[in-house]
Amino acid sequence: MPDVKTILTQPINRPKLSLTIYFIAWKSILLLVALTSPGSGYDTSTTLISESSDATGGSSSPLEAFVGKLSTKLVRWDAIYFTQIAQRGYLFEQEWAFGWGFTRLLAFVGRGISYAGLVGSTWPEAVAGIAIAHICHLLSVFMLYNLSKMVLQPSLDGKAAKMSFISACLHIISPAGMFLSAPYAESPFCLLQFSGYYFYAMSGQAHIRDAPGFRDLYVITAGCLLGLATTLRSNGLMGGLIFAYDAVQNTMTLFCKDKSIASLQKLLVTALAGSLVGLGAVAPQYLAYQEFCTSRQIGESRAWCSSLVPSIYAWVQSHYWSVPKVRGSEIMLIINRNAGFLRYWTVSNIPLFILAGPMLLLMARSTLWAWVELPKPVEINSDDKKTISRFSRNTPREFNKATTHALVRRFSLPQAALAVSALAVYHVQIITRLSSAYPVWYWWLAFTMVENHKRDAISKGFNLPMITIRWIVMYVMIQGVLFASFLPPA
């Protein structure tokens, strides 16, 4: 049995156990916040759906009543769509805006729960979503810890263990908050994203060991995982920027430096991995096209079917997510008023930009750290095996710095793209939950915490990491109450 005092005073000695204890404690607090939040909110959809689900059953046990109460509090906003679609499939056109991969996962697990009779007549899709969220969140905490150790250990060996543990702890209290406990795609998306990054990092190690077969396998596996993540959330497509960056470098190497079969193979494998990420976005669009455009009678197909690039997702965003404007007796439909380039930039949305500001600044600052401030290694030719052998033998620390530097830079690309998209195109406030799947800002904050502790910055009266953590905790608590009460923003 581990010593409780050791876990509390030196948690880094038993990192996985300590992280599990912290995770359980934090989730318990969040669930208590949800259960004690007042009222059903201005929208009672969840109550109506849960009552309909329970109508076929008899009296419920205390456990079923508790699960039903928790489901009612956590199935809010988009979670209503996710669970409904999982229950009876895609019925309406606008429902295709909600991640196909996640609704299929919910449906599969929900059927398993229903067949096993685990919760009686309680809403199985809601229970499935809550269970998936918690299990995937815990697994993503472990995966981020493993990823951090792999990426940071070579260059920051003295700090890597602390930084990895702190990064995993930060992911536990992520500003995504209740969205990592509710039937949303955020938790499984984090798990797939971190897993994809982990296998990509493994490919770098295989390249160093001169094992091209394993390197290619790891790259393709990373592409598969990031592609699966994209079926859950469309912003997963930004993970393809890692492979796009590599493709440009590999193309330049092939045409300017090394015109070998090995270089061509590396380029083709990178292109295949990037294509798998794109497939995660295209596959659901293809299924929708088959349903609405090819399986109907002539004249019954939808307007978006004849577009140059027929995308049901783009159509739903522009046609359904719009704002009606009344002019006399005429209702004018302002297409896509709140979604699109700079269309969210209105005076009434200033509070939402203020709300998203801290997270956007964190992501921007950590991206700057990755490209400008991270200790830069001595330049070496990574395609020259003789140079690699000599360099790794004579100056291993500098060679390992090259590995860390390259990986952190690449992983910062999707993060930077997400921050820019949120600022210019998205409903900006959702950056607080989307950011949970991007590791670089965790690493920068952990690095700053370790450096501040080393310099005893607390005595100077300003400790940026602690201020940031206090903001995250305060934000998550307030967000949790509002979310469970079906109140904006969400």
pLDDT confidence tier of residue 388, bands split at 50, 70 and 90: very low
Q: Reply yes or no on whether the pLDDT at 63 is more than 60.
A: yes
Residue 362 confidence (pLDDT) above 70? yes
- Count of beta carbons in the 10 Å neighbourhood of residue 483: 28
Judge whether 484 and 37 are in contact, CB under 8 Å. yes
Mean pLDDT of 339-367: 90
User: Is pLDDT of 196 > 50?
Assistant: yes
Confidence (pLDDT) at 460 = 57
Across 76-90, 129-143, 197-211, the highest mean pLDDT is recorded for 129-143
The answer to whether the CB of 254 falls within 8 A of the CB of 379 is no
pLDDT at 374: 79
| C-alpha angle 166-171-174 in degrees, rounded to nearest 5 | 125
Cβ-Cβ contacts under 8 Å for 85 (sequence gap 6 or more): 91, 95, 98, 103, 106, 107
pLDDT greater than 90 at residue 128: yes
Mean pLDDT of 57-68: 73
pLDDT in tens, 331-347: 333 333 466 788 889 89
The 10 Å Cβ neighbour count of residue 35 is 14
Q: Residue 479 and residue 50: Cα distance in Å, rounded?
A: 23
Name the one residue in this structure whose structure tokens are 């508790």.
Answer: 66
Dihedral of alpha carbons 38, 43, 49, 54, sign: positive
> Within 13 Å of residue 404, how many CA atoms lie on the same side as its CB?
26
What is the rounded average pLDDT of the residues 379-404? Answer: 49
What are the pLDDT digits (tens) for 274-301? 999 999 999 999 999 988 888 666 566 7
Q: How many Å apart are CA 94 and CA 213, to the nearest integer? A: 44
Instruction: Pull the structure tokens for residue 437.
Output: 């799947």
**Residue 153 vs residue 243, higher pLDDT:** 243
Average pLDDT, the chain: 84
Could you give the CA distance from residue 175 to residue 179 in angstroms, rounded to a whole number?
9
Rounded CA-CA distance 58/322 in Å is 42
188 neighbors 436 (Cβ within 8 angstroms): no
- Which region among 56-65, 251-260, 382-391 has the lowest average model confidence (pLDDT)? 382-391
This prediction's pTM? 0.89
Lowest mean pLDDT among 3-17, 86-100, 125-139, 260-274: 3-17
> Which of 153, 137, 195 lies closest to 433 in space, CA to CA?
137
Query: What is the reported pLDDT for 396?
Result: 43
Tokens representing residue 246 in the block:
């590599």
